[in-house]
Amino acid sequence: MSVESYIKENASCLCDKVYVAPEIPEKMLNNAISGIAPGVNHEYVLAIADTSIFGSAKEGCLFLGDSVHVRGMLEKPQSFKFENITSAEYKSIRKVKDNGKVDIKEEVILHQVDDIETSLTSCLTNISFKEFAKLINGILEASGEENKFETTSQTMPLESMENEIKKAYLKIICNFACSDDDIIDSQEYAEILSLIVRIELDSLDRLELRNYMYQTDNREDSDDLVRYLEENVPEGSFEIIKKSLLKDMIYLFRIKNEYECWPQNKFFTTLQQQFKVNDEQIDLMMLAIKNDEEILAQRKNDSEITKSMKEIAAKAGAVGVPLAAIYFSGSVVGMSAAGITSGLATLGMGGLLGLSGMVTGIGVVVIVGVGAYKGIKTITGLSDLENNKQRELMLQAIIKNAQKSLNYLIEDVNEISTQLMKEIKNGTESTMKIEKISAMLGMLSKGAQTTTEKITHAEIESIIAQLPPKLDAVRLKELTKEATKEKLKTFVLACYIETETIVDDGGVRIIYLLSGKLPLNTYEQLYSVLENIGYLDVSSAAFASIKGTAKNLFKDLIN
């Protein structure tokens, strides 16, 4: 076992509040670095033992792969390189007082090179002295005869790793796709391309992978590929990458099969056992996949997304699956790890994944408008649209991913078409090869069609996210009262379905709900009309609503 693995597996024994990578809350990580270990790179932090009174994590211990940093209450931080420590000594002195009471005095001493001894007793308040000494000595033993101490990133997503690692990962996915029928069909091909886009594989390496998918006689052994990952992936990320592989495979499996049938897939269960991932953890991965899909399918707003993500995070922690593993290669719906991390930051959940903020470029949410402005938005119903921002951003990212996938598919179609023409010119002796290339061309064309449909669907959903789900007929009437705007009112009403609803007093009220079966161009026209008449503008909408309501009230008084 390596030093980093040893620290992560044993640090929890130090005290009640211990945070282990990659599940260290962002606030605790920042506080610990500023208070205990100023200047260290947050990506390399393995564990934090928090001894502060109020749980701020500004006091206690912080571990890297090559050092330990400590700070007691009202003391300055200290750091110790493992390579300079020869041992840690725990002392327990038992003294019987005159009144018969037993007084036990504990102490921890670090023995270092050049016969330097340092007492850490005052620095380790609320930490088990015995467990601390045991942990340090265990670290020294885990380093081996070479005293090898290394620091590796604990938070690097797949898209930020070397291309050779990405290729090995993708080849395992390809091997899985071929394991049932020895081919990669159009749906599987489209999803693998989406994954290629999410992790940003270079063009030359993508061409190599394309040939790998086409040619069944050059498959690499999956065990060799896993071994390559184990030897080359930053150690802090290998446990995550194993679970991420299974997550991407279970999604690919579900495209053509019922989820419940996965235990019958030998390729999958072999890797599951090899990676020591239990069935409960597989179920959690599937739950996270369904959650991502439901965000779009059920048109969840930002509040609902926040709630569901927190629920997934809690369940993931309970079964031992870091959320970072679920989104290590991005989301199956088409978002990169960077996009997900930034999106969570805008919802106030930055750091939830534990992926590197520096790598992924976490954005900062700026909340504009308080007080009366919020009140106006609530009155006009525009606050509902504001609450759709995260889904809208997700859809834009999905469109971008799918468009890039489609471009790759078109490149592949052109390349295969060129090969087909060459073989046709060679004559009838290559008939079998022509049939094979033709079948491949058909598969690519279907894949392109699938991706195009995904783009169209995402574009429709993106426009819907910007449209009011329920129409304010009074406001619309006031904004289109001029004769020249009569057609606009008719068009808008045609896009909404008149529905009866029961109100609190038992009466019936007519409401207008947005139709979910319109073509893309109609939704685009609807958005344009609503924007042009001022329906989506806060001040215009508020004025029209108030004015229209006042008119109706006046009519009621007269009548």
One-letter-per-residue 3-state SS of 420-450: HHHHHHHCHHHHHHHHHHHHHHHHHHHHHHH
- What does the block give as tokens for 548? 């229209």
pLDDT at 547 over 50: no
- What does the block give as tokens for 279? 């069935």
pLDDT at 494 over 80: yes
CA dihedral 22, 27, 31, 32 (to 10 degrees): -20
pLDDT of residue 359: 34
Residues 6+ apart with CB under 8 A from 509: 500, 501, 502, 503
Instruction: Give the pLDDT confidence of 420-446 residue by residue, as tens digits.
Output: 777 777 765 566 666 666 666 676 677
Average pLDDT over the chain reads: 79
pLDDT of residue 224: 96
pLDDT at 394 over 90: no
Binned at pLDDT 50, 70 and 90, residue 339 comes out as low
Q: What is the mean pLDDT of residues 239-243?
A: 88
Residues 6+ apart with CB under 8 A from 106: 90, 91, 92, 93, 121, 129, 130
pLDDT of residue 386: 53
Instruction: Give the pLDDT confidence of 447-474 residue by residue, as tens digits.
Output: 677 777 777 777 788 788 888 888 888 8
Q: What is the mean pLDDT of residues 359-384?
A: 34
458, with CB counted inside 10 A (0-12, 13-18, 19+), is: buried
Q: What is the mean pLDDT of residues 142-157?
A: 81
Q: Poorest-confidence range of 195-199, 424-428, 555-559?
A: 555-559
pLDDT of residue 453: 75
pLDDT of residue 402: 73
Q: Residue 149 CB: number of other CB atoms within 10 A?
A: 19
Q: How far apart are CA 364 and CA 484, in angstroms?
A: 44
Would the CA dihedral through 461, 467, 473, 477 be positive or negative?
negative
The number of residues in the chain equals 559
pLDDT of residue 165: 94
State the DSSP string of 137-184: HHHHHHTTTTT------SS--GGGS-HHHHHHHHHHHHHHHHTTTSS-
Q: What is the mean pLDDT of residues 323-338?
A: 69
Please give the residue that has the higher pLDDT: either 367 or 86. Answer: 86
Binned at pLDDT 50, 70 and 90, residue 362 comes out as very low
Q: Residue 266 CB: number of other CB atoms within 10 A?
A: 10
Please give the residue that has the higher pLDDT: either 102 or 30. Answer: 30
| CA nearest neighbour of 185 among 412, 439, 437 | 439
pLDDT at 374 over 80: no
| Residue 265 CA neighbour count, 13 Å, CB half | 24
Q: The tokens 């927190």 sit on which residue?
A: 310
Q: How far apart are CA 544 and CA 376, in angstroms?
A: 12
pLDDT at 189 over 60: yes
pLDDT of residue 176: 94
Q: The tokens 């052994």 sit on which residue?
A: 221
74-88, 305-319, 415-429, 525-539, range with greatest mean pLDDT: 74-88
pLDDT of residue 31: 93
Give SS3 for 351. coil
pLDDT at 271 over 90: yes
pLDDT at 219 over 90: no
pLDDT of residue 529: 84
Angle, helices 222-232/266-275, rounded to nearest 10 degrees: 30
pLDDT of residue 77: 94
Long-range own/partner contacts, residues 224-227 (CB < 8 A, 24 or more apart)? 225/168, 225/171, 225/172, 225/175, 226/172, 226/271, 226/274
Strands 78-81 and 67-71: antiparallel
Q: How far apart are CA 455 and CA 395, in angstroms?
A: 9
Q: Do 133 and 85 form a contact (C-beta atoms < 8 A)?
A: no
| CA nearest neighbour of 150 among 246, 75, 46, 52 | 46
Radius of gyration of the chain (CA): 30
Q: Residue 545 CB: number of other CB atoms within 10 A?
A: 20
Distance, C-alpha 216 to centroid of its chain: 32
Distance, C-alpha 11 to centroid of its chain: 26
pLDDT at 358 over 50: no
Distance, C-alpha 82 to centroid of its chain: 34
Please give the residue that has the higher pLDDT: either 362 or 410. Answer: 410
pLDDT at 544 over 70: no
pLDDT at 273 over 90: yes
pLDDT of residue 311: 84
Binned at pLDDT 50, 70 and 90, residue 88 comes out as very high
Q: Poorest-confidence range of 34-43, 179-188, 284-293, 402-411?
A: 402-411
Binned at pLDDT 50, 70 and 90, residue 384 comes out as low
pLDDT at 307 over 90: no
pLDDT of residue 343: 52
Please give the residue that has the higher pLDDT: either 406 or 56. Answer: 56
| CA nearest neighbour of 9 among 134, 110, 120, 108 | 134
Binned at pLDDT 50, 70 and 90, residue 24 comes out as confident
Distance, C-alpha 18 to centroid of its chain: 24
- What does the block give as tokens for 515? 């139709």
pLDDT of residue 156: 76
Instruction: Give the pLDDT confidence of 94-138 residue by residue, as tens digits.
Output: 877 777 687 788 899 999 999 999 999 888 989 999 999 999 999
pLDDT at 272 over 70: yes
Q: Above pLDDT 70, what percent of the chain?
A: 79
